[in-house]
């Protein structure tokens, strides 16, 4: 029994300390709207990045002003790296909208963008070839993978897979210790 508990604890340790995406920037707050932003460098499709941000209580970043855009890029962006943002024209080609429903009144397209150079470039990203400016990206099938930036309206802490794993391991270890003490007292 003791050996089985140890093996279970080791298995949980291995499984629970391998999160699917780790933050690659600090979470920063933009004073202009009180929102928080963080970059993740795990390469994901736009749809998967959107789902990941939502699973953490946020959404892909929506940059509705020059000031917000500049702050986010300077504080969590990275030159030479394409990063998904929360804009799309998948509903109607050429009609861009934010996934949050906010008004699309500000743009920061790189020269010649959006160009929809191949059908399916329906998703907004920071352009790796024009730091701090936007590009339309995403080939048919949606298999292009980039880093991404999540946004939160308020500070939320969502336990990571690693944190859950540590909690589960602690409970198992404590339970195992109590079981062993009781067993010795009976003997």
Tell me, what's the pLDDT at 120?
82
Q: Are residues 15 and 43 in the same domain?
A: no
Q: What's the pLDDT tens digit per position in 56-88?
A: 999 999 999 999 999 999 999 999 999 999 999
Would you place residue 151 in the very low, low, confident or very high pLDDT band (cuts 50, 70, 90)? very high
Would you place residue 181 in the very low, low, confident or very high pLDDT band (cuts 50, 70, 90)? confident
Q: Are residues 83 and 165 in the same domain?
A: no
Q: Are residues 78 and 52 in the same domain?
A: yes
Tell me, what's the pLDDT at 5?
46
Q: Are residues 47 and 133 in the same domain?
A: yes
Q: Among the listed ranges 10-24, 59-73, 121-135, 150-164, which one has the minimum average pLDDT value?
A: 10-24
Query: For residue 89, what are its two tokens?
Result: 């024209």
Q: Are residues 33 and 65 in the same domain?
A: yes
Q: Are residues 108 and 71 in the same domain?
A: yes
pTM above 0.75, yes or no: no
DSSP state of 70: H
Q: Are residues 10 and 34 in the same domain?
A: no
Q: Are residues 39 and 87 in the same domain?
A: yes
Split into its structural domains, the chain has a count of: 2
Q: Is it true that the peptide bond before 114 is cis, omega within 30 degrees of 0? A: yes
Tell me, what's the pLDDT at 118?
81
- Token pair 């959006």 is at which residue? 114
Tell me, what's the pLDDT at 60?
98
What number of H helices and E strands is found in the chain? 4, 8
Tell me, what's the pLDDT at 19?
38
Top-confidence residue, 179 or 44? 44
> What is d(CA 79, CA 65) in angstroms, rounded to the nearest whole number?
20
Q: Are residues 4 and 94 in the same domain?
A: no
> What is d(CA 40, CA 111) in angstroms, rounded to the nearest whole number?
26
Q: Are residues 51 and 111 in the same domain?
A: yes
Q: How many CB atoms lie within 10 A of CB 165?
A: 19
Q: Are residues 1 and 81 in the same domain?
A: no
Q: Among the listed ranges 79-93, 125-139, 162-176, which one has the minimum average pLDDT value?
A: 162-176
Task: For residue 180, give its domain range.
Answer: 1-19+160-187
Q: Are residues 28 and 58 in the same domain?
A: yes
CATH classification at residue 135: 3.10.100.10
């Amino acid at each position: 029994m003791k050996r089985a508990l140890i093996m279970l604890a080791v298995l949980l340790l291995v499984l629970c300390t391998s999160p699917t995406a780790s933050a690659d920037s600090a979470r920063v707050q933009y004073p202009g709207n009180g929102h928080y932003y963080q970059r993740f460098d795990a390469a994901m499709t736009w749809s998967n990045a959107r789902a990941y941000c939502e699973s953490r209580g946020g959404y892909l970043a929506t940059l509705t002003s020059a000031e917000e855009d500049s702050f986010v890029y300077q504080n969590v962006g990275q030159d030479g790296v394409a990063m998904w943002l929360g804009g799309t024209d998948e509903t109607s080609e050429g009609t861009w909208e934010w996934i949050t429903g906010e008004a699309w009144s500000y743009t920061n397209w790189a020269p010649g963008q959006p160009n929809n150079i191949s059908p399916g470039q329906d998703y907004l990203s920071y352009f790796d070839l024009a730091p701090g400016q936007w590009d339309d990206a995403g080939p048919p099938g949606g298999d292009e993978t980039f880093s991404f930036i999540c946004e939160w309206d308020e500070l939320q802490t969502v336990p990571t897979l690693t944190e859950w794993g540590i909690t589960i391991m602690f409970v198992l270890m404590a339970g195992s210790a109590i079981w062993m003490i009781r067993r010795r007292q009976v003997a």
